[in-house]
Amino acid sequence: MKIILRLVFSVLISFMLVVNVSAFTAREIPDGVGANGWTGSFFCDSGNSRISFKDFQNLGRVQLRDEGEINDLMEDTVGYCLDPSIIGAFYDYNDNPYNPLQRDRLWYCEAGKEVKRDPEKPTERIDDNSDPCCPNTMPFGYNNGWGQDMCCDRAGLSSCDSSNGVEAVDDVDSPNNADGVHYFEAEILYTCAMTDCLFKNNEPASTSEKRGTFADPTSLGLSCFKNQDTGDFDSPSTSPTPYNVPGTGDFYCIAGTALSPEEYNTWVENGKLNAYIACKEFKDPQTGEFLEEYTKCVECIDDCDTCVYSSLGCIDTTLNGVITTVMRIGLGVLGAVGILRIMQAAMLRQSADPKDIQESWDIIMSVIMGAIVLVASSLILRVIGVNILGILPFDF
């Protein structure tokens, strides 16, 4: 009777140990501070020999016997890193649920080693509990016939012994927590999306600063405000409530651009909010002050309902406007070519060689003839395209 009671008690204790032991506890990312637009993510510093479990898996170094354990491991270890200079490959997880000393631990092959491959099925790992690790250069596992596990560099060998291989080694176990040696808690870095508004010391930050990641945004005086949905830029469907920035006042965050209420209301009323936001990008990246291009851009948008501002200046996007712009650019290019040719002719005339002088006259005459043809063709094109067919703009 006592023996039976002891057995029952042992089973109960083992069951309690099984249900109470937990694996890696998934970490949660705290909300970003300084407004509510921050997005946090886990980061493993490769410079300190740390990579995420997911990256370790992508390198093909998660070689667990039971593939079902891989998903559990990836899920349970969110927010943790490992040291690949110590761990070569994972072999088993949760090895022995009935042995408290081997429960919920990660068993691994040391750096420079991997789990043995089957020499008859080279793409598969050998599923056994005895000496499962082989060097990366000799990954195929054999038994030498004397009960000794060996590793060789090729599959399909008739034998593998000390003459052409090395002994396989046992795996190593480590705790499933951030012990500071094998595993570490990942850093948390915060980013402000390009569509959101980043403020530094209560002033809109530059676009280059928005591309950064920050471990402690508050200490840097940074705040991130979420983009406010206005529906279609040309015909907003909602009227968002402006944010309030202490020391700065109210503003709207539209497509990553901070707008004052005056700017927002004026541009929405004009139905040109999207175009005006594009103009706001003309800022000095160092000082944040508006450049001269900003004034030109705003004037372009104000003066023309169908115009856009670009590196080529103010361009009318209608068919007539595009044709006119293309023709003007073409005339400008031809004029530049003509000037260069005249300069070439002038340089040739400095020579005493009669051939060079004659060539310079030929160049000058060709430029003159080209200009006459260009002017005549423009007049003919205007008469036909504007006065007769009416397919070109009147101011062509």
Nearest partner of 134 among 156, 153, 162, 158, judged by Cα: 153
d(CA 26, CA 77): 6
pLDDT for 8: 39
Last residue of a domain, one of 185, 217, 241: 185
249-254 sheet: strands from edge to edge: 243-245, 249-254, 257-259
Is residue 230, in this structure, part of any structural domain at all? Answer: no
pLDDT for 1: 42
Please give the structure tokens belonging to residue 211. Answer: 């591309």
Domain that includes residue 366, residue range:
319-388
Number of domain units in the chain: 2
Which residues, in sequence order, are bridge partners of residue 140? 117, 152
Is residue 354, in this structure, part of any structural domain at all? Answer: yes
Is residue 68, in this structure, part of any structural domain at all? Answer: yes
Condensed to tens digits (0 to 9), the pLDDT of residues 292-305 reads: 888 888 888 878 87
Condensed to tens digits (0 to 9), the pLDDT of residues 304-336 reads: 877 777 777 787 766 666 666 676 777 778 778
Last residue of a domain, one of 141, 160, 185: 185
pLDDT for 165: 92
Is residue 248, in this structure, part of any structural domain at all? Answer: no
pLDDT for 9: 36
Res 246 pLDDT > 80: yes
- Characterize the bridge pairing of strands 117-118 and 187-192: unpaired
Least confident of 170-179, 247-256, 267-276, 279-288: 279-288
Nearest partner of 43 among 34, 54, 59, judged by Cα: 54
Q: Average pLDDT of 44-51? A: 89
Is residue 102, in this structure, part of any structural domain at all? Answer: yes
Is residue 266, in this structure, part of any structural domain at all? Answer: no
DSSP letters along 21-84, please? ---PPPP-PPPPSSSS-EEEEEE--GGGT-EEHHHHHHTT-B--SSTHHHHHHHHHTTTEEE-T
Condensed to tens digits (0 to 9), the pLDDT of residues 123-162 reads: 899 877 789 999 999 999 998 877 789 999 999 998 899 8
Q: Are 313 and 307 spatial neighbours (Cβ–Cβ below 8 Å)?
A: no
Q: Are 43 and 79 spatial neighbours (Cβ–Cβ below 8 Å)?
A: no
pLDDT for 359: 81
Residues in CB range of 396: below 8 A, 6 or more apart:
320, 323, 324, 327, 381, 382, 385, 386
pLDDT for 23: 57
Percent above pLDDT 70 for the chain: 81
